Amino acid sequence: MPSPKDKDKAPAGIDQSCLQHLLGYQIARADIPTRRAFAEHVGRPLALSAVEFSALVLLAFNPGATPKQLSEALAMVAPAVTVLLDRLENRGLIERNRSDSDRRALRVTLTPAGTELARKAHALSLEMEREVLQALSAAERAILIELLQKVARAAGP
Amino acid sequence: MPSPKDKDKAPAGIDQSCLQHLLGYQIARADIPTRRAFAEHVGRPLALSAVEFSALVLLAFNPGATPKQLSEALAMVAPAVTVLLDRLENRGLIERNRSDSDRRALRVTLTPAGTELARKAHALSLEMEREVLQALSAAERAILIELLQKVARAAGP
DNA sequence: TATTGTTATACTCTATAACTATA
DNA sequence: TATAGTTATAGAGTATAACAATA
C-alpha cells in the first residue's frame, strides 16, 4: 500500500541484489542507457546503427582496410560484414576495389560523402559521451575505460 | 611480409584507437568474453540463456513476482516475458498462478526443479566470475561494478 | 478508461553452409 | 590446399499492434 508521496508506477519493483555482483549483468544494464544515448545523439540524426558508425570511423582512420580486417575489429562474422558494406555502398558512403597485391582481397575506402558523414558522426559521439558520462568524474571515466579494456583483453583474444 | 616470429594470422589488424574513448564501444568489447564465459560455465551446461538465468535467479530471490515486475527488472517488453515464461514453464521450472488480490496479475513461483536449477546456476556463475575477472584485483572488481552501476543509474531510470 | 497479460506478426541481427575466385 | 569474399538461408532476439480479462 504505497503512500501518496510514492511515485512507483508499478508493483513496486523487485530485489535485484542477487544479480548485482555479476559483471555480465552490470554490463547489460549499463549497455541500455549507452545505446539509447547513441541512438538519440548519433544513430537517429545520421541514420546509422552502432556497427555502421564504428565501421565508418574505423575506415576514416584506416583507409583501404579489408573486409577481413573489419571483421576482426568489429567482432563480426564475414557474411555480416558483406551486408554491412553493401548498405554503406548503396548509400554512397564507401567504395570497394580489388587489391593489386592480392586479387582476392578488397580495399575499402570512404567516398567524400562517407568521409563527411564520419566526421559528423565522430563529432556527435563526443557530445553523446558527455551526456552518458556526466555522472562520472574525468578520473572515473578513465578508470572505467581502462578496467573494461582489461576485461576485454583478459579472456578476449 | 611478416617476420617468422610474427604471430599475426591475418592482414595485421587495423588501428582501433579512434573508437577506444567511447564507452559504448568498450562495453560492447567487454561484453564478448563475458558472454562467452557465461555460455561456457553456465549457459551450455544448464541449457540456459542469459535472460533465462537472470529470471530464474530473480524468482529464487523474489517468489511470487509478477511478469510486469520481471519485465522491468530484465528490461524486456511484456510479450518477450510471456514467451520467456512459456519456455521455463514447459521445462517444469516455474508455475504461473492468478493473484488473489488482483485477478489480472499472475504470480510466478519456482517449482522444486526450478529452485534446484537456480541454485546450481548461481553456484556456477560464481566460478564464471572468477575466470572473467581474474585479470582484476578485488578492489578493481568493486570499482568496475560500482562505475557501471553509476552509468546505468545516470541516464537509466 | 486504464492495466495485466497474451497472441500474432514483423523486423533486425547473427550464425552456418555452400559457392567463386584467387593464391 | 587454403584464403577472401559472396550468397542464401535459418535461427534467435526483440519490437509493435491487436486482443481478452479485470480493475
pTM of the model: 0.89
The answer as to whether B21 is a domain residue is no
The confidence score (pLDDT) of residue A80 equals: 97
Chain A and chain B share a number of CB contacts under 8 A equal to 219
The confidence score (pLDDT) of residue A78 equals: 97
The answer as to whether B16 is a domain residue is no
Q: Which pairing describes strands A94-98 and A106-110: parallel, antiparallel, or unpaired?
A: antiparallel
Nearest CA of chain A to the CA of B37: how many Å? 8
Q: Phi/psi of residue B108, each to 5°?
A: -100, 130
Q: Tell whether A148 lies on the interface with B, counting CB pairs under 8 A.
A: yes
Residues near B140 by Cβ (< 8 Å), separated by ≥ 6? A147, A150
What's the structural domain count of chain B?
Answer: 1
Assess contact for A11 and B66: CB atoms under 8 A.
yes
Output Rg (C-alpha) for chain A, integer angstroms.
20
Q: Which pairing describes strands B106-110 and A94-98: parallel, antiparallel, or unpaired?
A: unpaired
Alpha helices in B9-137 (DSSP H): 23-38, 44-46, 50-61, 67-73, 78-90, 112-132
If you search the block for the grid coordinates 553456484, which residue do you land on?
B123
Nearest CA of chain B to the CA of A2: how many Å? 15
Q: What is the CATH number of the domain that holds B148?
A: 1.10.10.10
Collapsed DSSP state (helix, strand, coil) of residue B156: coil
The answer as to whether B2 is a domain residue is no
**On the CB side of A77, how many CA atoms lie within 13 Å of its CA?**
1
- Tell if A68 CB is < 7 Å from nucleic strand D: yes
The answer as to whether A47 is a domain residue is yes
The answer as to whether B3 is a domain residue is no
Alpha carbon distance A39, B136 (integer Å): 31
The answer as to whether A52 is a domain residue is yes
DSSP 8-state assignment for residue A5:
T
Residues 4-43 of chain A whose Cβ lies under 8 A from any Cβ of chain B: 10-38
B7 contacts in A (CB within 8 Å)? none
Give the residue from chain B lying closest to A11, CA to CA: B69
A109 beta partners: A95
The confidence score (pLDDT) of residue B155 equals: 66
The confidence score (pLDDT) of residue A120 equals: 96
Q: What is the mean pLDDT of each run of 10 residues along chain B (157 residues)?
A: 33 87 94 92 94 97 97 95 96 96 97 97 92 90 95 75
Is the four-CA dihedral B21, B22, B27, B28 of positive or negative sign? negative
The answer as to whether A85 is a domain residue is yes
The confidence score (pLDDT) of residue A146 equals: 96
Q: Return the C-alpha cell found at A20.
A: 548485482
The answer as to whether B101 is a domain residue is yes
Collapsed DSSP state (helix, strand, coil) of residue A99: coil
Which domain covers residue A131, as residue numbers? 23-155
Which residues of chain A carry a pLDDT beneath 50?
Answer: 1-10
Nearest CA of chain A to the CA of B9: how many Å? 11
If you search the block for the grid coordinates 570497394, which residue do you land on?
A96
Q: Return the C-alpha cell found at A135.
A: 555522472
pLDDT digits (tens, 9 = 90+) for B48-70: 999 999 999 999 999 999 999 99
A103 beta partners: none
